[in-house]
Amino acid sequence: MIRRAFLSAALLTTFVASSAGCQPAGTRLTTEQRRVVLDSIASALNAMYVFPDVAARMDTDLRARAKRGEFNEVSDASSFAQQLTRDLQAISHDKHLRVRLRAADPVMGPAGSRGARSGIFGRTERMAGDVAYVEILSFGAPPEEVREATTRIMSAAADAKALIIDLRANGGGSPFTVALVSSYLFGADPVHLNSLYFRPADRTDDFFTDPLVAGRKFGPDKPIYVLTSSRTFSGAEEFAYNLQTRKRAKIVGETTGGGANPGRGVPLPYDLTVFVPTGRAINPITKTNWEGVGVKPDVSVPAANALDVALRLASQKLR
125-179 confidence digits (pLDDT tens): 999 999 999 999 999 999 999 999 999 999 999 999 999 999 999 999 999 999 9
1 pLDDT tier (thresholds 50, 70, 90): very low
Is the distance from CB of 218 to CB of 192 less than 8 angstroms? Answer: no
Digit-coded pLDDT (tens) for 24-56: 445 889 999 999 999 999 999 999 999 999 999
Mean pLDDT of 253-266: 97
- Domains in the chain, start-ordered, CATH in brackets? 2-11+116-259+294-318 (3.90.226.10), 18-104+263-276 (3.30.750.44)
Average pLDDT of the segment spanning 191-216 = 98
Q: How confident is the model at residue 4 (pLDDT cuts 50, 70, 90)?
A: low
pLDDT for the residue numbered 27: 81
Report the mean per-residue pLDDT for the chain. Answer: 90
Nearest to 97 by CA among 276, 243, 298, 295: 276
Task: Quote the pLDDT of residue 102.
Answer: 86
Give the pLDDT score at 72: 94
Task: Identify the pLDDT of residue 170.
Answer: 98
pLDDT of 117 higher than 50: no
Between the CA of residue 208 and those of 29, 187, 194, 291, what are the distances in Å?
A: 47, 12, 7, 21
| Number of C-beta neighbours around residue 73 at 10 A | 8
Q: Cα 186 from chain centroid?
A: 22
